[in-house]
Amino acid sequence: MNVELHNIRDFEVVPEECTSYIGKYVRSTQYTVDSERATEECLVYLSTSCDLKKDSRDAWIFDIDDTLLSTVPYYKENLYGGNKLNLTSLEEWMGKGKAPALDHSLKLFNELKSRGVQIILVSARREHLRAATIDNLVNVGFHGWAGLVLRDYADELVSVRTYKSDVRRKLISQGYRIWGIVGDQYSSIEGLPSAGRTFKLPNPMYYVA
């Protein structure tokens, strides 16, 4: 809970006494309900507070991992965050393109598209995973996004929060109105410039600054 409240930050591994609880949670109905509640609030906000111009400049930003695609199958094999992250191992898994979709996010994604919102995917994944990421997204039902931004070498020299803030700044300079951001990490939704509203999905397995 305190991870989700952002009271506990910058942790490298989930404490051993918490891994069993986290494993049960991310495989539970409650995890699904919590995630669906967040995406339902996105739709309420979209319907009541977004003055869409439908000029191809209304935008919404999504993270990818544990926002659109689930890494729970990978973390299941790594004690749900109880093992220290091995980036090589994680990227090998990502490269296989087998991550399942998060159904609640797919529903939101498609609803936004149907209303003419331009969807921009901004991920901390590295550029060499572009082809595998596109294949994975398309294979589980995500298609028709307006942009996919991944980190190149220069982006790896700054924090994820700074990188994603810089991407938003560039999008705004191109004339986009960013109505919403959805992500599972605070680094995806914090920083300036921001959006009309930000929405955080639950993820107690890891922390990305």
Q: How far is CA 66 from CA 73, 198, 204, in A?
A: 11, 16, 11
Of the pLDDT bands very low, low, confident and very high (cuts 50, 70, 90), residue 14 is confident
Q: Closest Cα partner for 64 from 168, 184, 186?
A: 184
Both tokens assigned to 189: 């939704």
Name the amino acid, one letter, at 43: L
Q: Closest Cα partner for 204 from 184, 190, 188?
A: 184
* pLDDT (average), residues 5-11: 57
As beta bridge partners, residue 120 has 61, 147
Cα atoms in the Cβ-side hemisphere of radius 13 Å centred on 117: 27
Q: Is the pLDDT of residue 8 over 90?
A: no
What tens digit of pLDDT does each residue of 100-126 get?
A: 999 999 999 999 999 999 999 999 999
The pLDDT score that the predictor gives to residue 161 is 97
Name the amino acid, one letter, at 63: D
Is the bond preceding 204 in cis, omega lying within 30 degrees of 0?
no
Share of residues in the chain with pLDDT > 90 (%): 88
* pLDDT (average), residues 86-94: 96
Distance separating alpha carbons of residues 18 and 150, to the nearest angstrom = 31
Mean pLDDT of the chain: 94
pTM for the model stands at 0.92
Structural domains of the chain, ranges and CATH numbers in brackets: 16-200 (3.40.50.1000)
Q: Is the pLDDT of residue 76 over 70?
A: yes
The pLDDT score that the predictor gives to residue 73 is 97
Q: What share of the chain is helix, strand, coil (3-state, %, to 5)?
A: 45, 15, 40
The pLDDT score that the predictor gives to residue 11 is 64
Cα atoms in the Cβ-side hemisphere of radius 13 Å centred on 32: 7
